Amino acid sequence: MAVFIPALIVLATVVAMEWVAWASHKYIMHGFGWGWHRDHHEPHDNLLEKNDLYAVVGAAMSISMFALGSEWVMGEGAWWPATWIGLGIMAYGLIYTLVHDGLVHQRYFKWVPKSGYAKRLVQAHKLHHATIGKEGGVSFGFVFARSPAALKAELRRQREAGIAIVRESAGA
């Protein structure tokens, strides 16, 4: 039982981080934080992007939680769940790095899935990149992806409503 509660906190944090990532991506990265995120949507040959600064923000959130949970840092005021929340944030960051940067954008390894959920993640994120600029768009999450057909229909609706400029190659 001593392991169950911490494991539950880590798992709940990983799940919650997908919502945090979705909201941050939709309202910050495609909002006032577009200056850091823009180069992620534009072709370039650079090893790093300004967008990678968002990973530093995520790391700072995790480190802050580890500090809040540490008696070494906080003394008797340490809040024990914070350590496990920090671990959940770190785990989500690792998942994000492997899925988004590795699988979808092929920054670390070259593998193109032919079927299954991995293919759906790649398709959903490619549809996210189908818009030009920060307006409109679909699929702001990183680990949970709606069906490509539903995302294409949403892009088509946004294009017809004048909400988003969709690249012709997107098929929406």
Residues 52 and 70 in one domain: yes
Taking only the tens place, the pLDDT of each residue in 95-151 is 999 999 999 999 988 999 999 999 999 999 999 999 999 999 999 998 999 999 999
Q: Percent of the chain scored above 90 by pLDDT?
A: 85
Residues 51 and 99 in one domain: yes
Residues 93 and 11 in one domain: yes
Quote the domain boundaries for residue 61.
1-111
- How far CA 3 is from CA of 7, 8, 78, 83, 84, in Å, comes to 6, 9, 19, 13, 11
Residues 126 and 139 in one domain: yes
- How far CA 119 is from CA of 5, 46, 58, 114, 138, in Å, comes to 34, 25, 26, 6, 17
Tokens of 103: 């699988």
Residues 39 and 55 in one domain: yes
Residues 103 and 159 in one domain: no
Count of the separate structural domains present in the chain: 2
pLDDT at position 6 over 90: yes
Query: Which of residues 10 and 171 earns the better pLDDT score?
Result: 10
Residues 1 and 57 in one domain: yes
Whole-model pTM above 0.75?
Answer: yes
Residues 31 and 68 in one domain: yes
Taking only the tens place, the pLDDT of each residue in 15-39 is 999 999 999 999 999 999 999 999 9
Residues 62 and 120 in one domain: no
166 by DSSP, 3-state: which?
strand
Q: How confident is the model at residue 169 (pLDDT cuts 50, 70, 90)?
A: low
